[in-house]
Amino acid sequence: MSATEIRKTYKLFIGGQFPRTESGRYYKVSNAKNEVIANMCLASRKDFRNAVVAARKAFESWSTKSAFNRSQILYRMAEMLEGRKAQFVDELMQTGMSKTMAEKEVRLSVDRMVYYSGWCDKYHQLFGTVNPVSSSHFNFSMPEAMGVIGVIAPESHPLLGLVSVVLPLIAGGNTVVVLASEKHPLCSISLAEVLATSDLSGGVVNILTGKSQELHTHFASHMDVNAILYARADAKEKKTMAELSALNVKRSFFYERDWYRADAENPYDILDFQEIKTTWHPIEQIGTSGAKY
Amino acid sequence: MSIQSKKSTDKKVKATKKSIPAFEWKYAPAPESTDHIDIKPQYELFIGGKFVKPATSEYFETTNPANNKVLSSIAKAGASDVDKAVKAARKAYAQSWQKMPARERGKYLYRIARLIQERAREFAVIETLDGGKPIRESRDIDIPLAANHFFYYAGWADKLPYAFPNRKPMPLGVAGQIIPWNFPLLMAAWKIAPALATGNTVVLKPAETTPLTALKLAELIQEAGLPEGVVNVVTGFGDTGAALVNHASVDKIAFTGSTPVGKYIQKAIAGTGKKVTLELGGKAANIIFDDAPIDQAVEGIVNGIFFNQGHVCCAGSRLFVQENIASTVIAKLKRRMKTLVVGDPMDKNTDIGAINSAAQLKKIQHYIQLGQQEGAEIYQTDQALPDKGLFCKPTLFLGTSQSHRIVQEEIFGPVLTIQTFRTIEEVIEKANNIPYGLSAGVWTDKGSKIFNLSNRLRAGVVWANTYNKFDPASPFGGYKESGFGREGGLHGLYPYVQFEH
């Protein structure tokens, strides 16, 4: 007699924990054959707000970790995903993907993690400058993490799409609240299991499942979110989010990419979510004669 | 200057009552000459390389805020004028500017830089007449920096591929640029130079109270022989700016001004695909630790808040002094404030000139009243102000706290709030606990403390043991509600390019 399958309950990922939605709501997710395969949490505005609190709390320690350390943690993510390949291939195939395509998507996702792991301790040198000012000052500009970023992940490519938008953000020291693909959230939320076992502190990446239609306005209007990244095609949602961003001068970015392309991974995506800070200091004048400063 | 000497007598009498020793600074008047300055009685719009009358047929007056005298009559651009300017810029982009070899583009920028240098004195005098800032500042800071900005970006024009590794930068098209009244020519330079260097064409909208140097710049651009329509200048009020922001054929908006207007712009262009950079308000913390070189720090406080009458978005308007040195610093600051010369902006001895407009003076006075209502202790020097014109005494507020509106809101005038602190953690928390994040100042002799603060202050520019320094090579711009995008330096190129895929 064969053992009865233990089915997984899919939950949200907030602050390193796996809570159900506080709203108690769910929606049904089907596979390519239209069979219901999961009751997925339908995240509410309150879930989103809790996730922002977790992300803000995690920001200080994540953004001040050494770049090398962040790099190691991102590499660890790649190791963890590599080890769970089969699970992700299976979940992707349930969306109707062929085995070859599903394997390709998982492989590219692992590669993308390794790629951004490598950038963690290098983009500063690419985008930072020492500025030759005319006065007697030492002056340098450095990229610095923007803060808490709200991300609405691509609807297609639930694994590669999500990895491609989240990795450059956390590589750059930001913390993230990301809404997974609505139709195919299985492997997006399963990614939480990879993150939770990668030495990534709780709250650095928070994953919600649910509907962009319900949540996009909250992403854009939340006063403690520093920037948003919207990676879907709905022109109306884009416009609304861009408008609401003005409430606290949020930086808003809208990506539409072919995530398989080689240039879908690049350090300029890290730079989009960096602030440039410039520091000035006098050279050998302070405390000497006269009132130079 | 009989009025002045009479006032200084008053001052002496009053000052003797104070416990802090009074200083009697007497300078002979040293007004800059206006003989060689040519201001026309009327200015038209600069569109397609020519000065043209506005379709509105309307004009508005620009005045000297130091004596309320009318300087000139300025064309008011309506929506159809803005449309004409955008079309001229579009045409110039397609037909001349985009096609021109980058090196040649650069040469035009060098020409503009040189011409500003050649006519620097004229520009400085007009800047001061129109805006009220001390001639010393327009002469030594605004105008040279404006010229240098063109020099700096001129050199970038043919070197852009080196700025963006592994990407090919392309221009955006037509840039609509809206600038404020606090550094009129300098802001025009900050906007125009990187836009042109990267191959864009420009429609510039100067502030209504300070249009003259932008119009003189238009004359100079004509003289430099730039292809027609590469730079267009449309003068007017907020509705002119709105017409520019909402014009369908503008590819990029660059705005420097208040946070509310920045938010309006961000909302207005939502969903249009227009790129935008916003350089908005600020409420910078200027932090003095007990191990700071106190005398230099006091100079830094004064420069931080009284430079340009405090009409500076990055002004160090929130002073944080470590508790154990607070009484010393405040006493020295008060003494130093007594030496500040408030008055005729054209006088080379003047430290604090005229408030730019009656509306701005009203706003500042509102906040000075509000601060007293909120229970803060006010300090002003007893120097008398000129009888005519728009002036405001340098003002301190002591005993303020985070919840005071004068601490949270941008005043944009010579008004400083003072708070004390004990620990580094406390001052970082207080400094960051505000919607703005443009700049900050840190004063300490300890290097590690500077780097700690510089890392943790959420602001785009951190001045350590200095304040209010600007340079074309140095990026400038804000965090949070102080806007986004950088102006100056290599980073100042990003807002004006897109990458070819």
* 3-class secondary structure, B33: coil
pLDDT at A8: 85
Question: What CATH number corresponds to the domain at position B146?
Answer: 3.40.605.10
pLDDT at A290: 44
pLDDT at B24: 62
Contacts of A275 in chain B (CB under 8 A): 460, 479
Backbone angles phi, psi at B407, to 5 degrees: -90, -30
Beta-bridge partners for B278: B255, B484
Q: Are residues B202 and B326 in the same domain?
A: no
Mean pLDDT within B288-317: 97
pLDDT interval class at B26 (50, 70, 90): confident
d(CA A118, CA A116): 5
Tell me: pLDDT of B4 over 60: no
Tell me: pLDDT of A1 over 70: no
Q: Does B167 touch chain A (CB under 8 A)?
A: yes
pLDDT at B36: 84
Query: Using CA atoms in the order A33, A35, A40, A45, what is the torsion angle rounded to 10 degrees?
Result: 70
* pLDDT tens-digit map of A241-271: 999 999 999 999 999 999 999 889 999 999 9
Give the closest-approach CA distance of A212 to chain B in angstroms.
Answer: 17
Give the pairing type, strands B483-484 and B275-279. Answer: antiparallel
* A199, part of any domain: yes
CB nearest to A243's CB, from B270, B464, B465: B270
Say yes or no for a CB contact (<8 Å) between A246 and B464: no
Backbone angles phi, psi at B279, to 5 degrees: -120, 105
Q: Which residue has the tokens 């330079």?
A: B189
pLDDT at B1: 34
* pLDDT tens-digit map of B101-117: 999 999 999 999 999 99
User: Which of B139-148, B225-234, B377-386 bottoms out in mean pLDDT, i.e. has the lowest?
Assistant: B377-386
Say yes or no for a CB contact (<8 Å) between B293 and A238: no
Q: Are residues B113 and B244 in the same domain?
A: yes
Q: Which residue has the tokens 């895929």?
A: B501
pLDDT at B35: 87
Backbone angles phi, psi at B465, to 5 degrees: 55, 30
How many distinct structural domains can be found in chain A? Answer: 1
Known active-site residue B313: yes
The DSSP output letter for B360 is H
B457 to chain A: nearest residue by CA? A277
* pLDDT tens-digit map of A17-49: 999 999 999 999 999 999 999 999 999 999 999
Alpha helices in B323-446 (DSSP H): 326-338, 358-373, 405-408, 424-432
Q: Are residues B147 and B97 in the same domain?
A: yes
Question: What CATH number corresponds to the domain at position A51?
Answer: 3.40.605.10
Q: Are residues B447 and B302 in the same domain?
A: yes
Say yes or no for a CB contact (<8 Å) between A249 and B490: no
Q: Are residues B167 and B268 in the same domain?
A: yes
Beta-bridge partners for A170: none
- Please give the C-alpha separations between residue A139 and each of B82, B135, B452, B489, in angstroms, as whole numbers: 39, 28, 16, 11
d(CA B191, CA B400): 37
pLDDT at B9: 43
Give the closest-approach CA distance of B266 to chain A in angstroms.
Answer: 5
Mean pLDDT within B83-91: 98
* 3-class secondary structure, B183: coil
Mean pLDDT within B327-348: 96
Mean pLDDT within A155-175: 97
pLDDT at B3: 40
- Do residues A11 and A189 touch, judged by C-beta distance below 8 A? yes
Residue bearing the bigger pLDDT, B407 or A285: B407
Token code pair at residue A117: 């792991």
Contacts of A247 in chain B (CB under 8 A): 263
CB nearest to A293's CB, from B299, B482, B483: B299
Give the HSE-up count for residue B173: Cα atoms under 13 Å, Cβ half-sphere: 16
Q: Are residues B453 and B431 in the same domain?
A: yes
d(CA B94, CA B158): 19
Domain of B190, in residue numbers: 42-280+480-499
Query: Using CA atoms in the order A81, A86, A89, A92, what is the torsion angle rounded to 10 degrees?
Result: -90
Which of A280, A286, A289 to mutate: most B Cβ within 10 Å?
Answer: A280
Rg (CA), chain A: 21
Q: What is the residue-averaged pLDDT of chain B? A: 95
pLDDT at B501: 62
* pLDDT tens-digit map of B388-446: 999 999 999 999 999 999 999 999 999 999 999 999 999 999 999 999 999 999 999 99
Percent of chain B clearing pLDDT 70 (strictly above)? 95
- Do residues B159 and B186 touch, judged by C-beta distance below 8 A? no
Alpha helices in B157-205 (DSSP H): 184-197
A196 Rama class: left (phi>0) / alpha (psi -120 to 50) / beta: alpha
Token code pair at residue A107: 């492989």
Q: Looking only at Cα atoms, what is the longest distance across chain A?
A: 92
Beta-bridge partners for B52: B45
Tell me: pLDDT of A289 over 80: no
Question: What CATH number corresponds to the domain at position B330?
Answer: 3.40.309.10
Contacts of B475 in chain A (CB under 8 A): 129, 131, 141, 276, 278
Tell me: pLDDT of A207 over 80: yes
Q: Residues B208, B313, B410, B487: which is the catalytic one?
A: B313
pLDDT at A121: 98
Per-residue DSSP letters for A139-178?
EEEEEEE--EEEEE--SSSTTHHHHHHHHHHHHTT-EEEE
Mean pLDDT within B199-216: 98
* A188, part of any domain: yes
Q: Are residues B57 and B136 in the same domain?
A: yes
Tell me: pLDDT of B244 over 60: yes
Give the closest-approach CA distance of A203 to chain B in angstroms.
Answer: 20
Backbone angles phi, psi at A5, to 5 degrees: -65, 135
d(CA B379, CA A165): 53
* pLDDT tens-digit map of A48-105: 999 999 999 999 999 999 999 999 999 999 999 999 999 999 999 999 999 999 999 9
How many distinct structural domains can be found in chain B? Answer: 2
- Do residues B451 and B494 touch, judged by C-beta distance below 8 A? no
Sign of CA dihedral B424, B425, B430, B436: positive
Rg (CA), chain B: 23
CB nearest to B464's CB, from A248, A276, A279: A279
Sign of CA dihedral A161, B483, A66, A48: negative
Q: Residues B32, B44, B127, B279: which is the catalytic one?
A: B279
Q: Are residues B303 and B259 in the same domain?
A: no
* B473, part of any domain: no
Q: Are residues B393 and B489 in the same domain?
A: no
Known active-site residue B279: yes
Residue bearing the bigger pLDDT, B382 or A72: A72
Tell me: pLDDT of B11 over 70: no
pLDDT interval class at A291 (50, 70, 90): very low
Element (H, E) at B220: helix B212-223
What is the arrangement of strands in the sheet containing B231-233, beginning at the earlier edge strand?
B50-52, B45-47, B231-233, B201-205, B174-178, B252-256, B275-279, B483-484
Give the closest-approach CA distance of B44 to chain A in angstroms.
Answer: 34
Give the pairing type, strands A175-179 and B483-484. Answer: unpaired
List CB contacts of B422: < 8 A, sequence separation 6 or more: B322, B323
Q: Are residues B202 and B296 in the same domain?
A: no
Domain of A195, in residue numbers: 26-30+42-277
Say yes or no for a CB contact (<8 Å) between A249 and B481: yes
* A10, part of any domain: no
List CB contacts of A229: < 8 A, sequence separation 6 or more: A149, A150, A151, A152, A165, A169, A252, A253, A254, A255, A272, A273
- Do residues B425 and B446 touch, judged by C-beta distance below 8 A? no
* pLDDT tens-digit map of B164-198: 999 999 999 999 999 999 999 999 999 999 999 99
pLDDT interval class at B470 (50, 70, 90): very high
Closest CA to B155 of B471, B470, B473, B469: B473
* B298, part of any domain: yes
- Do residues B446 and A214 touch, judged by C-beta distance below 8 A? no
pLDDT at A5: 86
Give the closest-approach CA distance of B231 to chain A in angstroms.
Answer: 28
* A17, part of any domain: no
Q: Are residues B193 and B298 in the same domain?
A: no
Tell me: pLDDT of B352 over 90: yes
Contacts of A237 in chain B (CB under 8 A): none
Tell me: pLDDT of B383 over 90: no
Q: Does B480 touch chain A (CB under 8 A)?
A: yes
* B349, part of any domain: yes
d(CA B203, CA B236): 13
d(CA B134, CA B348): 7
Percent of chain B clearing pLDDT 90 (strictly above)? 93
* B231, part of any domain: yes
Q: Are residues B168 and B220 in the same domain?
A: yes
Tell me: pLDDT of B364 over 90: yes
Say yes or no for a CB contact (<8 Å) between A131 and B489: yes
